């Protein structure tokens, strides 16, 4: 399944889940337009969370994406815009991913990113480097993956701290330790730094 097809499928699944939830749970349809716009704005980030927290098999990625969108919709009425939208979406997505991992009671296996999946995450000229980075990230704990995912998405440290529930200084130190772990892993695997 090509990268474009995956994106179209995910949009379609998101819309179908959304319609099903509306018809089942909310006759007045809350503010569905705002919700759909928010999921569209956060689609790339949601897809990244799914890739980081699954074995990257298409069915598992779709299942996690569906779970995240369902949980976002269920939590939507409680979103009061006190935090940034990205912060709230990340928190729901990461909590959903962690809950799904606990249900499976095992860590995802390490699987190389397919070319289609890599192309949805980075520009074509960075494929090899990014693929290597994501393979290294696969070796991290789920907590470390969460932090580095936020960092790679250029989320400010104050928001990272809010999402993971630590202070800003602790978030900075943890990200620095994770970066050092990645450098060490890369050196062990390739004898050089990325």
User: What confidence score (pLDDT) does residue 123 get?
Assistant: 46
User: What confidence score (pLDDT) does residue 7 get?
Assistant: 60
- Contact between residue 174 and residue 183 where contact means Cβ atoms under 8 Å apart: no
Q: Splitting the chain (194 residues) into consecutive groups of 10 residues, what average pLDDT does each group show?
A: 57 61 53 83 88 82 89 86 86 88 60 56 56 84 86 88 88 92 83 53
Q: Identify the CA nearest to 93 among candidates 142, 34, 166, 130.
A: 142
Q: Identify the CA nearest to 60 among candidates 52, 50, 45, 70.
A: 50
- Contact between residue 149 and residue 48 where contact means Cβ atoms under 8 Å apart: yes
User: What confidence score (pLDDT) does residue 1 get?
Assistant: 46
Cα–Cα dist 149/160, whole Å: 10
What is the DSSP annotation of 64-91?
HHHHHHHHHHHHGGG--SSS-HHHHHHH
User: What confidence score (pLDDT) does residue 81 get?
Assistant: 80
């Amino acid at each position: 399944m090509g990268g474009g097809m995956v994106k179209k499928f995910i949009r379609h699944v998101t819309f179908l889940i959304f319609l099903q939830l509306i018809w089942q749970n909310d006759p007045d349809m809350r503010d569905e337009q705002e919700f759909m716009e928010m999921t569209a704005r956060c689609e790339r980030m949601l897809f990244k969370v799914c890739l980081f927290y699954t074995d990257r098999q298409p069915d598992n990625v779709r299942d996690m994406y569906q779970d995240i969108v369902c949980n976002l919709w269920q939590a939507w009425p409680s979103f009061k815009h006190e935090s940034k939208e990205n912060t709230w979406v990340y928190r729901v997505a990461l909590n959903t991913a962690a809950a799904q991992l606990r249900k499976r009671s095992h860590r995802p296996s390490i699987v190389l990113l397919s070319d289609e999946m890599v192309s949805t995450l980075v520009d074509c000229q960075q494929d090899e480097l990014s693929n290597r980075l994501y393979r290294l990230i696969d070796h991290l704990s789920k907590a470390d993956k969460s932090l580095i995912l936020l960092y790679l998405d250029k989320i400010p440290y104050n928001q990272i701290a809010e999402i993971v529930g630590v202070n800003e200084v602790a978030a900075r130190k943890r990200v620095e330790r994770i970066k050092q772990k990645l450098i060490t892993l890369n050196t062990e695997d390739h004898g050089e730094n990325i």
